[in-house]
Amino acid sequence: MKYRAIPMAVAAIVWVQPSLAQAPDTRPAVAVVQALSDALIDSMRSGASIKFSERSARLAPIIERSFDLPLTTRLAVGPPWSTFAAADQTALVAAIRRMTVAEYARNFSSWNGETISVDAKPNVRAGDALVRTTLSRKGKDPVVIAYRMRQSGGRWKIVDVLFNGSVSQLATRRSDYAQIVKRGGAKALIAHLNAAADKAAR
């Protein structure tokens, strides 16, 4: 597995367990993360036996089911989103989707006995669930990856990924994307995302 650390640290997010009477049924949320984790391990086990294009094709459906990509795109762009033309919004969601698939296909492309365990008891706050997983690696420290999840259309979907409990992918992207949008607007961000996907494919 190739693991790329996120360069920007953000404050740790504190999750508080509400009363049982208020807690939503998070078992389906855990099932989503378990299915994604199983697919990632399968991708790693395939190793060099499959091409990048095939790996991407295998991962694309599970990523589409697991992530709320339209919502995460809007949240990553922030306030400028409402000023973008509809065509640019559609292109941005497509570019985020393409980049996400490409990066997972690159990062989970080799296996050395890694396992992923999923915590069956998420923390919940304001209706969102935080499902923690632990990626164990031989001879290396484990990596804690937590998925912040929200119900969308009656289904739990991932809206953010936290690395080692405190590094928010969404916050990192929002900071990075703000500078790109400021310089060149929506089209500059679309080009940046597509370039990132192309780089991951190499």
Res. 7: pLDDT tops 80: no
Q: For residue 148, what pLDDT is reported?
A: 97
Residue 10 confidence class, pLDDT cut points 50, 70, 90: very low
What are the residues whose beta carbons fall under 8 Å from the beta carbon of 82, sequence distance 6 or more?
none
CA separation (Å) from 155 to 50, 125, 133? 31, 17, 20
Please say if the pLDDT value at position 4 is more than 80: no
128-137 vs 123-125, strand pairing mode: antiparallel
Q: What is the mean pLDDT of the chain?
A: 90
Q: Kindly list the domain boundaries of the chain, sorted by start residue.
A: 27-201
pLDDT confidence bin for 29, thresholds 50/70/90: very high
Q: Evaluate if residue 1 carries a pLDDT over 90.
A: no
* pLDDT reported for residue 19: 44
pLDDT over 80 at 22, yes or no: no
Q: What is the pLDDT averaged over residues 24-38?
A: 96
For the beta carbon of residue 147, count every other beta carbon within 10 angstroms.
Answer: 26
Domain 27-201 has CATH 3.40.50.1370: no
pLDDT number for residue 20: 44
pTM to 2 decimal places: 0.86
